[in-house]
Homo-oligomer: A and B are copies of this chain.
Amino acid sequence: MKIAVDAMGGDNAPQAIIEGVNLAKKDFPEIEFLLYGKEEEIKKYLTDETNITIIHTDEKIESDDEPVKSIRKKKQASMVLAAQAVKNGEADAIFSAGNTGALLAAGLFVVGRIKNVERPGLMTTMPVFTGEKDAGFDFIDMGANADNKPEHLLTYGILGSFYAKKVRHIDNPRVGLLNNGTEETKGSELTKAAYELLAQEESINFVGNVEARDIFSGVADVVVTDGFTGNAVLKSVEGTALSLMSILKTSITDGGLKSKMGALMLKDSLKGMKSTLDYSSHGGAVLFGVKAPVVKTHGSTGPEAVRNTISQIKTMLETNLVGELQEFFETPKIKE
């Protein structure tokens, strides 16, 4: 098992990335890593060079580079070389904390789409607030596409269902369609047509429409949406959570001595709350529907999250997730 790592992607690269690789190597000594980036800097943080190959390059994609243009022009960038290694069969998967748009472009144009998957989607496992550890739902498309057709949403249902079974070990994952009401007749032209397709698909357990209000309380294991809506939902959640934290902080600061003492006493509880919110424990976001695992974490990702994401990639490879998807989609029963 070989994982190509874009060592230069992310705000804290290469340090956070390499420290994450160090952690992963302890847990999974059998994984071989191909590390793309500045050799000297990588070596500064690497604690153990067994099963490690460093491929030196000076070029990298910046976080504000124009995605498609940059992967076409910066042919020696660490991310592009890593994707190229996957394409050439030198590695089985690619990991990056760099420019999301560029990684999506590298996934689509370098690694390449699975036959009959017209529009790969970006998927992540979101936390649900039911109190159960590891509870969550797979949310796809989080925003790889700005416009989707009903057929794409059907594909996302199938992709998400495969992931929930293989990686999250859920027997018969419930697939919900994000909509503006739970009734069957609700929705936009897009969601109404997608509903029909999902309801007819025999390979999945479609449970109907779900609303954004309810997805965090665990109404489905997989939630399907178009990329524009997925992006809006994720950013709303993020904005609300940040705002609430800041309100809470202000309330405490403005509340005088009694509140401040209360806050100190509550500190551990608030820390527990923060860890529930932290969905990096589920790993990174997967560009799903391409010929190998292409996995992204936040730019500000730390070593722990890198390790978790490598563990996620390992599971995807061990279970031959992408191979089975290819078989499913290339068998001529579903067409896009």
Residues on A close to B: CB < 8 A?
Answer: 129, 131, 143, 146-147, 178, 180, 186-189, 191, 211-217, 225, 227-229, 231-233, 235-244, 246-248, 250-252, 254-255, 258-259, 261-270, 272-273, 276-277
Chain A to chain B: the 5 pairs with minimum beta-carbon distance, closest first: A262-B265, A251-B269, A262-B266, A212-B235, A129-B243
Distance of A255 Cα from B187 Cα, bound (Å): 42
Partner of A180, one of B232, B239, B267: B232
- Can you list 18 pairs linking A and B with CB atoms under 8 Å apart? A143-B180, A146-B186, A146-B187, A146-B191, A178-B232, A212-B235, A213-B238, A216-B240, A217-B239, A225-B232, A228-B229, A229-B229, A233-B236, A236-B236, A240-B240, A244-B244, A248-B273, A263-B266
Check if B266 sits within 8 Å of A239, measured CB to CB.
Answer: no
- 12 further A-B pairs in the complex, CB-CB below 8 A; given A131-B250, A213-B238, A232-B236: A147-B188, A213-B239, A216-B239, A236-B236, A236-B240, A244-B244, A247-B277, A254-B272, A258-B265, A259-B268, A259-B269, A262-B264
Q: Which residues of B contact A272 (CB under 8 A)?
A: 251, 254-255
Q: Which residues of B contact A129 (CB under 8 A)?
A: 243-244, 246-247
Check if B273 sits within 8 Å of A247, measured CB to CB.
Answer: yes
Q: Which residues of B contact A215 (CB under 8 A)?
A: 239
Q: Which residues of B contact A239 (CB under 8 A)?
A: 212-217, 237
Chain A interface SS verdict (over half): helix
Minimum CB distance partner of A229 in chain B: B232
Q: Which residues of B contact A244 (CB under 8 A)?
A: 129, 240-241, 244, 273, 277
Distance of A269 Cα from B229 Cα, bound (Å): 34
Partner of A237, one of B143, B211, B240, B252: B240
Minimum CB distance partner of A265 in chain B: B262
* Most interface-central of A146, A227, A238 (chain B CB within 10 A): A146
Minimum CB distance partner of A253 in chain B: B269
Check if B237 sits within 8 Å of A251, measured CB to CB.
Answer: no
Q: Which residues of B contact A273 (CB under 8 A)?
A: 244, 247-248, 251
Minimum CB distance partner of A187 in chain B: B146
Partner of A232, one of B232, B254, B264, B277: B232
Check if A228 sits within 8 Å of B188, measured CB to CB.
Answer: yes
Within the complex, the shortest CB–CB distance from A39 to chain B, in Å, comes to 34
Distance of A240 Cα from B214 Cα, bound (Å): 9
* Most interface-central of A211, A231, A269 (chain B CB within 10 A): A269
Q: Which residues of B contact A250 (CB under 8 A)?
A: 131
